Structure 1
Amino acid sequence: MNKSEKVAIDVITTSDMHSYFLNGESGSNIYRAGTYVKSIREKNKHVILLDSGGSLAGSLAAFYYAVVAPYKRHPMIKLMNAMQYDASGISPNEFKFGLSFFSRAVSLSRFPWLSANIEYKQTREPYFSTPYTIKEIDGVKVAIVGLTSDGLMEREHFEMENDVRIEKTLLSSKRWIRFIHETEMPEFLIVIYHGGLNQLNKSATEREQNVNEAEKLMQTLGVIDLLITGHQHQTFIGQNDKTLYVQAGQNAEQLIHVKLNFKKRTNSYELENVDSQIVDLNEYDEDPDLLDLTYYDRKTVNHWSEECLTTLETEASVSGLADVITQPHAFTQLLHDSIRQAYDNDISCVHLPTSGEKGLSGNITNERLYNAYPHPDIPVDLTLKGQQIKDILEYCYGHIEFSQGELSLTIVDETLCTFWQGVDYTIDMNAQPFKRVHLHNIDLEHTYRVCMTDYCYRNYKQYLESAVIHESGEITMVELISRKLTDSNYKIQQHQSFNVLT
């Protein structure tokens, strides 16, 4: 048998890299991934390198290149281009810094970003060019199609609402995969799905189950050869009938290597066998060429991260959730003071930036501020009813419980805890859930001009359908907080007024 009658293809996949390209004391694994990929290319020229998405947001470096220096070429795009990625899926995180930011990143990429169910709102055509790509290797046709969990996209950047719609993942996949099989007739079909596997989260809530639909895709479609999942930050290999499904962790700590072997028939190729493995990248050195490529990028981020915003001692540390939800707090007051720089309405609404919030204390650097508020939330100016203010507060305090004055149960995402200024209210934790909030200076039927973060708006949209949006800001909350902290005349003075009865 001639060598040409057998074709070996190496499929390598990464996931959720979050722009972790700074190489600290233990190094950064994207450079080790580069070494591994290069070693495989030396053995076999038939390599398909894929990422499931989530590479452009989620780290200090990502924030710097999206918010502080958006005019610079993103280092992750430089690295992925240099490593010769063949395609990437699209994660909701890609839209964290807005549609225009991601569109620019796509235009600078030498590989396609694939998602069949992110569409133009008017025409329902794929927003990012084609939703799939074809790699033909020595006569073997490999189709790669991208899908994004519609459940994960529900609460993403609301600026996209006028231009972009998210089709249901299952509905879109049925249409496009059938089209690919009928028109392209590939020997092997790869689906990059940025969503997870419910089996990896046995205690998933109903909402989490709706965003992790990998099992449904395999059960409903039944024509997928390789399903690449993401989002859950776990490393996993499994088999469902004829479908191999994998997940490659996060931050390139590990990757998945799938080896495909095809045998030539008269007019087609037959898949002989598939071998898959998890690769621990700690065994590999960093690629010096990739390190050299991002040398100045890393140096710039490190310099910015160490810059001190204030020489004054700041005391706004948070010692647990109960510390901020039971009484007015210096940290939430800092958030109110910051957002009011954008829209100085009588009422402002902010939220906890992270679960397990630590707040701020001492001398604040850019890195410490980012760790306290790692999201590019922007202010929104809107008009809403007093009833809507009450509904939002009821949601938070309806999902927590106290026992003998101590917080005993939290079944709400801490970032959904909202804090209002200009609204005087009492929370009676001894009352029944959703009947605990008493507003003292707000009429439930009156309308009020409010400034709130876009995160609050997106996540409480079910209560804000009748709200009128007047304007959304362009400056992020992190930048607004930074302006307050660099003001030598600024001191945190408590104005928030609420009381919690436990």
Structure 2
Amino acid sequence: MKKSKNISIDVIATSDMHSYFLNGPDGSNIYRVGTYVNRVRENNPNVILLDSGGSLAGSLAAYYYAIVAPYKRHPMIKLMNAMHYDASGISPNEFKFGLPFFSRSIALSRFPWLSANIEYQRTKEPYFSTPYTIKTISGVKIAIVGLTSDGLMKREHFEMESDVSMAKTMLTAKRWIRYIHESESPDFLIVIYHGGLNQLSQKPREHDQEVNEAEKIIQNLGVIDLLITGHQHQTYIGRDNETLYVQAGQNAEQLVHVNVNFKKHTTSYEVDFVNSEIVDLNQYPEDFTLLTTTYYDRKAVEHWMDEIISEQVGDLTVDGLEDVVTRPHPFIQLLHDSIQREHAFDISCVHLPCNGERGLSGQVTNQDIFEAYPHPDVPIDITVKGADIKQILEYSYGHLEFNDGELSLTIIDETLCTFWQGVEYDVDMTQPPNHRVTLHNIDLDHMYRVVMTDYCYRNYQQILDTAIIHHTDKNTMGERIAQQLQEDEYELKHKQTFKVKLK
């Protein structure tokens, strides 16, 4: 068959799908993505389907298949295999459930997961095999390379540090993109970068830190034809000189479709023109074949989420951040009781599970617990210095301000607010930041055995640089909360001892 002198290739990009595969009002448009992609393939078989990463964590369904039923094949992998994805980038969220979980997911995938700067700790070679893939379509050679924001990875599982290291994104991009151009000579280069991108401005920047990593990659390398980004959950298309950059939102609510037309020369192809559009998927029906593929997977999740854990837990509702930072609170006490289930230590440290925390009340199901504590944080057994306890508390209360006894300013991620049991302390909000906390039963120079969430440790790791980690548990806080509430003899009693002076 004689080749056409002009080749049209469709590149379709999704991003941050978060395992939203439950169809219906609480589900995802991934089944509509399947319909759209099939229609495009009917008109043009030259399709490259890519995801920027973030597909395996971030929803109740993701939690179920990673924590409750990890032995089952992950439905998102099933769907992406069935849709014939060509490659996926790697988001830091992929590691939320640990390295073994992600490695197992990769093993079940029929497409590569790409990241050039996730490396073996010892050898500094790419951890997930080759960091790029080559697609040759009707003679056109397309290179696809993956990069992951090293900044976003800083607060993920510290347990991986002995195996995995993160190289600087910019340095890795320079090295691998140069290598790809020299060794592969592609006609078109696509970079999947999970790290976000400001919509580029042609105005010069006064401060280098205002330019994020993706912008630096474009402006310093200048040899990228298409940059697919993620993480910010925005949908847009832009251009900076010769680089087209796109982001495809989240949860498959929309996708980005880039049509690239190539003109053939004697021994190579050059880009003739590029068309790009944002596609609203709500006008497309769900793909019946894909729905059938996950029918029993969805039923399993729905059965679990509706399972009743406790008929009556009392009123553990949280009425805003002020409700929990100004007084001992029953929901926070439940967290302390849950984290201490298998530890006999006098001191425990928990944090507010999510921004806008609502707590629990009345009849509680697995879904209620997930919504109250949606992250797979696990307890760690750790020895810390008394001064570290004070510094962490000072940080929490140093970023809050009260006016006439009411919370007026919050310049802190609410999940960084920590709560301690076994530590008696007063907080005087009339004092300047870093001088508000007084510890009564803690010697600043002594070491104390503490059980805390690994999230607290990861986010306060700079303060806890001298801490000693003895053991990391496997059961998540969500699982521990469920176990605690299922105990017939469990009675919640306040054990927190702190007072806050507001005015």
Provide the TM-score with structure 1 as the length reference.
0.97
For these two proteins, the number of residue pairs brought into alignment is: 494
Equivalences for residues 397-412 of structure 1 within 5 A: 397-412=397-412
Matched, 1:459 2:462: no
Q: CA deviation at 1:270?
A: 1.2
Provide the TM-score with structure 2 as the length reference.
0.97
Please say if residues 3 and 138 of structure 2, whose CA atoms lie closer than 8 Å, have aligned partners that are also in contact.
Answer: no
SS at match of 2:407: strand
Please say if residues 196 and 211 of structure 1, whose CA atoms lie closer than 8 Å, have aligned partners that are also in contact.
Answer: no
Q: What residue is the counterpart of 2:279 in the other structure?
A: 279
Structure 1 runs (4+) deviating above 4 angstroms are 209-212
Which stretches in structure 1 are left out of the alignment for 5+ residues?
202-208
SS at match of 1:125: coil
Q: What residue is the counterpart of 1:112 in the other structure?
A: 112
Q: Deviations over 1:67-117 (max 9, x none)?
A: 000000000000000000000000000000000000000000000000000
C-alpha change, 1:470 and 1:417, in structure 2 (3 Å) is same
Q: What residue is the counterpart of 2:447 in the other structure?
A: 447
Equivalences for residues 3-82 of structure 1 within 5 A: 4-25=4-25, 28-82=28-82
Query: In 2, Cα distance between the equivalents of 1:248 and 1:489?
Result: 50
Q: What residue is the counterpart of 1:204 in the other structure?
A: none
Give the AA of the match of 1:458.
Answer: R
Q: Deviations over 1:301-344 (max 9, x none)?
A: 00110000012243210000000000000000000000001322
The alignment-based identity, stated in percent, is 69
Q: CA deviation at 1:211?
A: 10
SS at match of 1:290: helix
Which stretches in structure 2 are left out of the alignment for 5+ residues?
202-208
Please say if residues 150 and 167 of structure 1, whose CA atoms lie closer than 8 Å, have aligned partners that are also in contact.
Answer: yes
C-alpha change, 1:333 and 1:210, in structure 2 (3 Å) is farther
Please say if residues 149 and 211 of structure 1, whose CA atoms lie closer than 8 Å, have aligned partners that are also in contact.
Answer: no
Q: What residue is the counterpart of 1:167 in the other structure?
A: 167
Q: What residue is the counterpart of 1:142 in the other structure?
A: 142
SS at match of 2:196: coil
Query: In 2, Cα distance between the equivalents of 1:213 and 1:486?
Result: 47
Equivalences for residues 118-129 of structure 1 within 5 A: 118-129=118-129
SS at match of 1:344: coil
Matched, 1:431 2:431: yes
Equivalences for residues 336-485 of structure 1 within 5 A: 336-485=336-485
Query: In 1, Cα distance between the equivalents of 2:150 and 2:179?
Result: 21
SS at match of 2:308: coil
SS at match of 1:433: coil
Q: Deviations over 1:103-157 (max 9, x none)?
A: 0000000000000000000000000000000001111100000000001000001
Query: In 2, Cα distance between the equivalents of 1:229 and 1:311?
Result: 45
Give the AA of the match of 2:50.
Answer: L
Please say if residues 344 and 451 of structure 1, whose CA atoms lie closer than 8 Å, have aligned partners that are also in contact.
Answer: no
Give the AA of the match of 2:441.
Answer: N
SS at match of 1:464: coil
Query: In 1, Cα distance between the equivalents of 2:123 and 2:439?
Result: 45
C-alpha change, 1:311 and 1:27, in structure 2 (3 Å) is closer
Q: What residue is the counterpart of 1:297 in the other structure?
A: 297
Please say if residues 121 and 162 of structure 1, whose CA atoms lie closer than 8 Å, have aligned partners that are also in contact.
Answer: yes
Q: Deviations over 1:438-470 (max 9, x none)?
A: 000000000000000000000000100100000
Q: Deviations over 1:414-460 (max 9, x none)?
A: 00000000000001111110111100000000000000000000000
Q: What residue is the counterpart of 1:240 in the other structure?
A: 240
C-alpha change, 1:458 and 1:145, in structure 2 (3 Å) is same
Q: CA deviation at 1:199?
A: 3.7
Q: CA deviation at 1:483?
A: 0.3
Matched, 1:93 2:93: yes
CA RMSD of aligned residues (A): 1.3
Query: In 2, Cα distance between the equivalents of 1:477 and 1:423?
Result: 21
Q: CA deviation at 1:197?
A: 1.3
Q: Deviations over 1:54-74 (max 9, x none)?
A: 000000000000000000000
Q: What residue is the counterpart of 2:498 in the other structure?
A: 498
Q: CA deviation at 1:491?
A: 1.7
Q: What residue is the counterpart of 1:198 in the other structure?
A: 198
Query: In 2, Cα distance between the equivalents of 1:200 and 1:370?
Result: 37
* Further displaced range: 253-262 or 307-316: 307-316
SS at match of 1:198: coil
SS at match of 1:461: coil
SS at match of 2:239: strand
Please say if residues 15 and 52 of structure 1, whose CA atoms lie closer than 8 Å, have aligned partners that are also in contact.
Answer: yes
